[in-house]
Structures are given as C-alpha cells and as structure tokens.
C-alpha cells in the first residue's frame, strides 16, 4: 500500500504584524481541520472524499475567506468559487458566482460527478445546486459584521481591500490606509499593488494522497473585498488554482491573476513529469521561476506520500501530516 499524506492551507501573504491572537485562532482552525483529514485517511477514506470534507470544514468556519466569512463584492454580496480534482483520470468540477450554496466545494464535486460539464457559474450553478438537493442558505449567512465594516472602509478609499480584518475601532478610513502604506514602506512587501498590511487573501485548499496512491485537490474562496461583481480568480480554474494527477495534487493561493498567468498548479506537475524533479524541488522551481513579479504560495502532495509547500511572500497559513506520524501547522518560514 502507498503512504497517505495531506496538506492544507488558509491563504498566502500574511501581515508580519498580525496580532498574536489572530495567529493562534488561525492555527487552531487549521489544526482542527487537518485532524479531520487525518482521521479520515486513517480510516481508509478516498482522497477525493477527504479533500471535500476538509474544505467543507474550512468553508464553515468564518476564520478564513471561503464560505461563511467570505469577502464582499462592491454590491455588498458574496460571490464564492471553488474547484475539485480527482487525480484518477483527471476528472474535475468547478463553480463560480455562487451566492447561496452553503458549501461551494460540494457543488463543485456534484458538477464533476453528476453533470456532463466541468464548470458551472452564477445562475446555472445555483440552479444545479437546487436540482441536486444541496443545502442552500440566504446570502446573509455568509456575511459577517466585520466584513460589512471593511467593505465600507474599502469603498470610502475607492479601492479593493484585501485584508478585510483590519481593526476598525479608533481609526478613520484615510488614516488607516495611510498607516498601512507607511508600514509597507518599512517592510517593502506589496501584493496586487497594495501593502501587505492590507492584504490577506485567505483562500483555503487541501491536497491529499490516500493509502491507495490516489491523489485529489480542492480549493475554495470568497475572492477579494470590494471586487467587481463577476470577477473570477484562480481558485476555480483547473491548472491554475487546483490540479491533481498521478504525480501530485496541488492547491494554490495568493495573487490570483499571477497564478492564472503562470498556470501554477499544473506547472508543478509538469516539471515533475518532464524535468523529473522530486516534489519539493518542483514546488520551489515553480514558485521561484513561474510567478514573474507575482506573489503566491501553494501546498502539494506526491503520489508516493511526500508533502511540500512553498511561498514567495511573508507567510502562508498551512498544515500538513503524513502516515509516518509527521504533523505540522505553521504560518511563517
């Protein structure tokens, strides 16, 4: 039998000054969701079932930007997207513009398993979810008071705001953004043209290889705060934000447009296949050579039970575990 392994993430690009209690909260959620996956793998569950279950857990917790707690559009609504891929036969499913489906990753799975298509979006995706009997909720379920405040901040600044968890108390909009810009001058990190202190994509994802050597990956996100309605990022795009095959399974996070241009997830598999690189070397090569001036991170597992991750920004919320007992949850290098 093959060795199972699992890796999860909660987003790349972390403010170095993120309060300690926020860091601990994120690590607790990651550890809990990682344990869900570990328990399933120990019981012999298939990789595809594990990635769906773990991402559902991440979508349900408002700590990260997927499902409940998703970022808001300019209109103050939530438009979520997700994808899932089975390394066996490279089957895949993806959805975008989802506004009432409680767990978008499960809708992506239904697209793969129960439809003749690979990708559904907006009204078509919503209609299909109802046909399939998936749980739907009012759009208000996904919206938190904190996000409403951060959307107001973003609109007053006339910009897209990436870190929708900047504390609002005691600071007006202009001074908050000015302080963020000043802080960026000191640490030099910019993502999508904005200081790292106001950027936290917090997309979630999971990559798994099971005890039969089969791989799967899934990714889910709410996108960017104050984004244009209809904006689609890398998370639902197979080969960009998500990929799985016999060599590996990959889930990406970070600057969506850069990930799309580099087809980052597929590239990890490609350099393993065509250059013969082992998993970690393939991850390092793609993060270093394929992102041009973009910032991103990714998690990956190989078909032989290795785990790897890489990022070229200040941090990535992540966790991983293997059958031999290794387990880790971290944020920084």
110: containing domain: 5-140+199-323
pLDDT of residue 185: 39
Whether 264 is in a domain gets the answer yes
pLDDT of residue 17: 85
Whether 179 is in a domain gets the answer no
Q: What would the pLDDT profile of 103-162 be if each residue is shown by its tens digit? A: 999 999 999 999 999 999 999 999 999 999 999 999 999 998 888 887 887 777 666 655
Could you tell me which residue, 71 or 245, shows the higher pLDDT?
245
Task: Give a three-class secondary structure readout of the chain.
Answer: CCCCEEEEEEEECCCCCCCHHHHHHHHHHHHHHHHHHHHHHHCCCCHHHHHHHHHHHHHHCCCCCCCCCCCCECCCCCCEEEEEEECCCCEEEEEEEECCECCHHHHHHHHHHHCCCCEEEHHHHHHHHHHCCCCECCHHHHCCHHHHHHHHHHHHHCCCECCCCCCCCCCCHHHHHHHHHHHHHHHCCEECCEEHHHCCCCCEEEEEECCCCCEEEEEEECCCECECCCCCCCCCCECCCEEECCCEEEEEEECHHHHHHHCHHHHHHHHHHHHCCCHHHHHHHHHHHCCCCCCEEEEEEECCCCEEEEECCCCEEEEEEECCCCEEEECCC
Q: What global pTM score does this model have?
A: 0.90
Least confident of 170-174, 237-241, 318-322: 170-174
- Whether the pLDDT of residue 163 is over 90: the answer is no
Whichever domain contains 85, its CATH number is 3.60.20.30
| Average pLDDT over all residues of the chain | 88
- Whether the pLDDT of residue 197 is over 50: the answer is no
Whether 272 is in a domain gets the answer yes
pLDDT of residue 66: 93
Cα separation, 28 vs 248, in Å, equals 27
pLDDT of residue 2: 80
256 marked as binding residue: yes
52 marked as binding residue: no
Please say if 219 is a catalytic residue.
no
- Per-residue pLDDT band for 253 (boundaries 50, 70, 90) equals very high
Count of domains observed in the chain: 1
pLDDT of residue 244: 98
Cβ atoms of 315 and 10 closer than 8 Å: no
- Whether the pLDDT of residue 190 is over 70: the answer is no
Whether 233 is in a domain gets the answer yes
Q: What would the pLDDT profile of 265-317 be if each residue is shown by its tens digit? A: 999 999 999 999 999 999 999 999 999 888 999 999 999 999 999 999 889 99
Least confident of 104-108, 136-140, 197-201, 249-253: 197-201
Kindly report the CA angle at 280 between 275 and 285, in degrees rounded to 5? 55
233 marked as binding residue: yes
Which residues, in sequence order, are bridge partners of residue 91? Answer: 86
pLDDT, mean of residues 211-237: 94
Cα separation, 292 vs 319, in Å, equals 26
Instruction: Name the residue among 252, 212, 217 with its Cα closest to residue 235.
Output: 252
Q: What would the pLDDT profile of 82-103 be if each residue is shown by its tens digit? A: 999 999 999 999 999 999 999 9
pLDDT, mean of residues 68-95: 95
- Whether the pLDDT of residue 263 is over 70: the answer is yes
pLDDT of residue 167: 43
- Beta strand pairing status for 190-191 and 194-195? antiparallel
6 marked as binding residue: no
pLDDT of residue 184: 41
- Percent of the chain clearing pLDDT 90 (strictly above): 72
- Whether the pLDDT of residue 177 is over 70: the answer is no
pLDDT, mean of residues 254-261: 92
pLDDT of residue 291: 92
Q: Out of 73, 100, 203, 219, which one is annotated catalytic?
A: 203
- Percent of the chain clearing pLDDT 70 (strictly above): 86
Cα separation, 242 vs 109, in Å, equals 13
Whether 91 is in a domain gets the answer yes
pLDDT, mean of residues 42-51: 98
Whether 149 is in a domain gets the answer no
pLDDT of residue 157: 67
Whether 92 is in a domain gets the answer yes
Instruction: Name the residue among 68, 256, 220 with its Cα closest to residue 147.
Output: 68
Whether 309 is in a domain gets the answer yes
- Per-residue pLDDT band for 181 (boundaries 50, 70, 90) equals very low
254 marked as binding residue: yes
231 marked as binding residue: yes
């Amino acid at each position: 039998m093959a060795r199972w392994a699992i890796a999860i993430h909660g987003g790349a690009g972390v403010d170095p000054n993120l309060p300690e209690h926020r860091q601990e909260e994120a690590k607790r959620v990651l550890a809990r969701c990682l344990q869900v996956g570990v328990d399933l793998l120990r019981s012999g569950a298939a990789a595809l079932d594990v990635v769906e279950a773990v991402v559902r857990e991440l979508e349900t917790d408002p700590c990260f930007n997927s499902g409940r707690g998703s970022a808001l559009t300019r209109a103050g609504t939530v438009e979520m997207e997700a994808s899932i891929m089975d390394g066996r036969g490279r089957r895949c499913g993806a959805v975008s513009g989802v506004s009432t489906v409680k767990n978008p990753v499960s809708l992506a799975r239904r697209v793969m398993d129960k439809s003749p298509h690979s990708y559904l979006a907006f009204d078509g995706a919503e209609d299909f979810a109802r046909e399939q009997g998936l749980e739907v909720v009012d759009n208000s379920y996904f919206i938190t008071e904190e996000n409403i405040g951060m959307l107001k901040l973003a609109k007053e600044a006339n910009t897209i705001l990436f870190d929708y968890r900047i504390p609002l108390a005691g600071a007006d909009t202009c001074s908050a953004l000015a302080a963020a810009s000043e802080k960026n001058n000191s640490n030099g990190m910019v993502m999508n043209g904005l200081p790292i202190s106001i950027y936290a994509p917090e997309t979630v994802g999971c990559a798994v290889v099971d005890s039969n050597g089969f791989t799967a990956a899934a990714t889910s996100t709410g996108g960017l705060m104050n984004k244009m309605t209809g904006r689609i990022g890398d998370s639902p795009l197979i080969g960009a934000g998500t990929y799985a095959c016999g060599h590996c399974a990959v889930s990406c996070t970070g600057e969506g447009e850069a990930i799309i241009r580099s087809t980052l997830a597929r590239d990890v598999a490609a350099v393993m296949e065509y250059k013969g690189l082992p998993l970690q070397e393939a991850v390092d090569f793609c993060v270093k050579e394929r992102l041009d001036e973009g910032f991103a991170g990714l998690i990956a597992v190989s078909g032989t039970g290795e785990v790897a991750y890489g990022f070229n920004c200040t941090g990535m919320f992540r966790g991983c575990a293997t059958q031999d007992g290794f387990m880790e949850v971290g944020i920084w290098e």
